[in-house]
A and B are shown apart, each in its own frame.
Chain A
């Protein structure tokens, strides 16, 4: 029995280190290859030894697909391809291919240079890994091999984020990666056609949340920022260099312009300037409005937002600073946070999801005394705000996507178990499809029953279609043909053609039945009586009286002959072939009952 098998190595009932193995019709595909922000030990990478105990990964995996550039989706890639060893193709979109190596390098620097980790992947490994990447266009059908094909759909989550359809024959799986069903200030909404996959693997970060309108959140955000700077406070917004950062920058930029504000806005340097450049060059991946107006005004050229210098953090007076990384787990954002945390006039706004174990997660869950390195305790007096600007679909959005794609079953990843459970029930109720939520290392097996494509000869098909068009809805019509299986080619042809092709002669089976009738009249008259009887009875059939005196009903021949012994009896010879079996048998039975009395 053919089946689809799915095993999450990461992101099973968890957020972080997304990595999902899919086996479909004998093809093995790995979806994403992420790292976990919450761990610094072995657990930060997926357990690749699960894939194959012996043998090389390249032999086992047909391809690897990366959905977008966030490190929890691609952070383990150089480790996987260069240190564990994988030489097969890695597919991702162009923007992902452009930005991914930069984020990996950044991650490497923090891990090796700042934290002093040994045995980490090197810059060269990132480069070598990226050489294995094959870039895909949106909606392009990429033929991985003769049977396996993949296709990317717009996912909206970050620049270049894509959902992927993986297809072998008539079986398919869709993996959403992270996606967003509502367009934001810089990206469009995720979209997929009614591709009816056997399985939809969807993220479920916000499985239980239904967010209010984006406008409200934006107004709220601007109000909080504005109030804080008005009273002379500093606002820290920890972000990842690409994604939310650009959206919030556009938001603040337009607000500053409208309100004519002079308070400085800074963006932590390095990545971000570069990042804005990527947005300019990949503007076809942004939303409609930005694309339409970019010639007149490129939204990613900011007037009010300046590059940040480390020294600025100690400047007096209000300011707004976007700093990386987004979960306050390391780097500049954490440094600034430590400086500003003690002042209740200041504010930190967390605009996205924070993984467990990060400082971001701790302060969001209400912790106000943080233990830092060296047993130092940091007291957080600044205001802590959380605003969901994460570009993930909320429960409504997930349901919407399931409705769009119409999958036969759904599998949830990239979410918390409790919330998944809720969503799972909802999906099963609403769409009447089974929904799975495997934990890491747990395999879900879906039996599939693929239909078999064969070639039907046009002659046969047209013959059937012409007849099928008759309004005879009550009885389904039976198509009869012969399936010729030669090597791997399957052809359905009419029986005549099959015989001809194979050089076989038809064997004709014919029946002739003698029906005795009491009739003293001449044979010709008997035949005529038979003709008029049948003509009256069989309204829907072609009944003919031939010049030689015989009667035909369709292709059945009826002749009348004199009885050799009894002149009062006539013998009707009813003759038909095996193909007319039913009608022939029916006619003999009918004639056996005798003819109606001739009108006198």
Chain B
């Protein structure tokens, strides 16, 4: 029995250097304790409240299932590559077995969850002043989120596990994904060929058929998510299908919590359900199913359930992999009779593989995968709508599925073509950061002198003091020049050496010779001679033995060591130039 899970690549990154983990939905956090508890991770985890609460329930169920069948010993030698090679399939083909870990404990779950910082949709969360992250509704599950990671000038959207169908969660927020430089797209539907609506219909009719014939129905499922929608469909369906007297059992260590929690997240639900709460009524009709005793929930098959158990019936229980949990008992109890049916709705596991150890089976098997996540048609519509500059996605999405290689429609089609990545591959995102935000303090702003260079474009040279704190940059006015020290103490020469790092502005423009000469004359220079050269002119101040070469893009003043003269000439030249 599987007690270990494949988790994540450990060699690729040092998890203790990770600052932040963003959780998209409660299915995507099952490995969280491995990261938060054993890697030296000290960062923050961000998730919405439903994600955290339901994620806790999923983990609690998993831990409970695993702990019910404790193992005195666990084998690990088979992980040796030489041994593994010799094992039968599928063990032989398992990848990265060295990263497989034993299931965590509830204590580790609680510790992991305590590191979660709860956030709400459209909440802007500042990370170290450098970037802002924002969760957006993704429409897939209660509290499921897509994430926007943006600085003032760049925007990356992470779209994972999104749905455009109207089920119970708040609809997907598409508008906020617009103007992304990069959109990372993952978590598309596992079953692109199945229409979830059709599958729900099939689910109901198969269920009714079996029960009417006196058989039992087993629905392997997770304790939260699609089960809410299935119960709602059944709520509308059972009376018309004459199933009012058939008991529905929901068996999970967290069944009660899951049903209760679903009713208190009104703010995370679709509009229809929200308005029910305003009445005030519980948003999900399973409250009524419970009240009328049509739906009963139990923590396990032991205890109360064994007293109440009545057949024929419908049982919802986990784990959908059929490898552990109460579902195993029902498979063994009902597997021998062809009256019974097992209906697979969770898309995460291949039902054929799940059933393999139970073969031969007399029980009927129906496969109605309900995966509400985006399919390829919806993806292309979405991409057309939000128009990211670049799309990044797993390699699998850029080609048709191997089993249906002719289905060119089952892949992402966008312009420019999506960039793909593989497991454990590092991909550089195709944009260059050019700008960052800086604040100019009002006093400094007031002192700037803009000049119009071209129509509509103005320039101002800025000399300011840069202050950076928590990755926020502020420009403040330069300090007033300090008064020269009154005491003329002799200093060492080196102390007077000017700081060459103080940059002088660049100059631009050109000097019209005639005007320049006039200006010189106005300022008391006489005996000026102008010679033409190939590229410009030479202005000679014969008296001062000074020569000024003027060309289109340069001016060269050659003089004796007469600082006063030089500075005078410099300032006259500068009058004709613009500073940058």
Contacts and interface: CB of A to CB of B under 8 A. Distances in A.
A232 interface: no
A514 B546 CA distance: 10
A281 B504 contact: no
B563 interface: yes
A484 B561 contact: no
A508 interface: yes
Residue of B260, B500, B552 ringed by the most chain A CB atoms within 10 A? B500
A486 B450 CA distance: 11
A599 to B, nearest CB: 19
Interface string A478-503: 11111111110001100110110010
B489 interface: no
Contacts of A537: 493-494, 497
Contact of B264 (A97, A170, A283, A479): A283
B267 A580 contact: no
Given A453-B437, A455-B436, A138 B503 contact: no
A586 B270 CA distance: 74
Interface in B406-453: 433-443, 445, 448, 450, 453
Contact of A477 (B439, B465, B496, B558): B465
A588 B438 contact: no
Given A281-B280, A455-B436, A507 B260 contact: no
Contacts of A455: 152-153, 435-438
Contacts of A507: 507-511, 553-555, 577
Interface in B439-492: 439-443, 445, 448, 450, 453-454, 456-466, 468, 473-475, 478-479
B278 A98 contact: yes
B55 interface: no
A282 B264 contact: yes
Residue of B439, B456, B555, B561 ringed by the most chain A CB atoms within 10 A? B561
A408 to B, nearest CB: 14
Contacts of B558: 511-514
Nearest to A505: B553
B218 to A, nearest CB: 26
Given A482-B459, A508-B507, A541-B497, A277 B256 contact: no
Interface string B142-156: 000000000011000
B569 to A, nearest CB: 9
A592 B438 contact: no
A295 B257 contact: yes
Interface in A423-470: 449-458, 461, 464-465, 467-468
Given A458-B434, A482-B459, A508 B553 contact: yes
B49 interface: yes
A505 B475 CA distance: 28
Given A137-B121, A452-B442, A514-B561, A480 B573 contact: no
B560 interface: yes
B267 A284 contact: yes
B121 A140 contact: yes
A578 to B, nearest CB: 6
A362 B152 CA distance: 58
Given A499-B508, A507-B509, A507-B553, A582 B120 contact: no
A515 B559 CA distance: 9
Interface string A522-550: 00000000000000011111000000000
Given A139-B123, A277-B280, A513-B559, A579 B462 contact: no
A5 interface: no
A461 B438 contact: yes
Given A278-B280, A485-B457, A590 B466 contact: no
Contacts of B510: 507
A476 interface: yes
A483 B560 CA distance: 37
B505 A478 contact: no
Contacts, number: 267
B502 interface: yes
A473 B283 CA distance: 62
Interface in B191-238: none
A506 B507 contact: yes
Contact of A458 (B277, B435, B552, B560): B435
Given A140-B122, A586-B498, A479 B504 contact: no
Given A478-B478, A509-B573, A457 B553 contact: no
A451 B280 contact: no
Contact of A492 (B266, B438, B479, B553): B438
A404 interface: no
B277 A98 contact: yes
B263 interface: yes
Contact of B438 (A283, A456, A508, A512): A456
B181 to A, nearest CB: 15
A458 B436 contact: yes
A582 B497 CA distance: 9
B556 A510 contact: yes
Contacts of B267: 94, 135, 137, 284
B506 interface: yes
B557 A511 contact: yes
B147 to A, nearest CB: 15
Interface string A364-403: 0000000000000000000000000000000000000000
Contacts of B278: 97-98
Nearest to A588: B561
Contacts of B437: 453-456
A480 B121 contact: no
B260 A295 contact: yes
A216 B507 CA distance: 76
B274 interface: yes
B561 A513 contact: yes
Interface of A: 94, 97-98, 135, 137-142, 170, 274, 277-278, 280-284, 294-295, 449-458, 461, 464-465, 467-468, 475-487, 491-492, 495-496, 498-499, 502, 504-516, 537-541, 554, 578-583, 585-586, 588-590, 592
9 closest Cβ pairs, A-B complex: A582-B498, A455-B435, A495-B580, A449-B442, A495-B506, A451-B439, A508-B554, A456-B438, A98-B278
Given A137-B121, A516-B561, 4 more contacts: A455-B152, A456-B438, A482-B580, A582-B499
Interface of B: 49, 119-124, 134, 152-153, 256-257, 260-261, 263-267, 274, 277-278, 280, 282-283, 433-443, 445, 448, 450, 453-454, 456-466, 468, 473-475, 478-479, 493-494, 496-511, 552-561, 563, 566, 570, 573-574, 577, 580
12 contacts: A281-B266, A449-B443, A455-B438, A478-B463, A480-B503, A486-B457, A502-B454, A505-B508, A505-B552, A506-B506, A507-B553, A586-B497
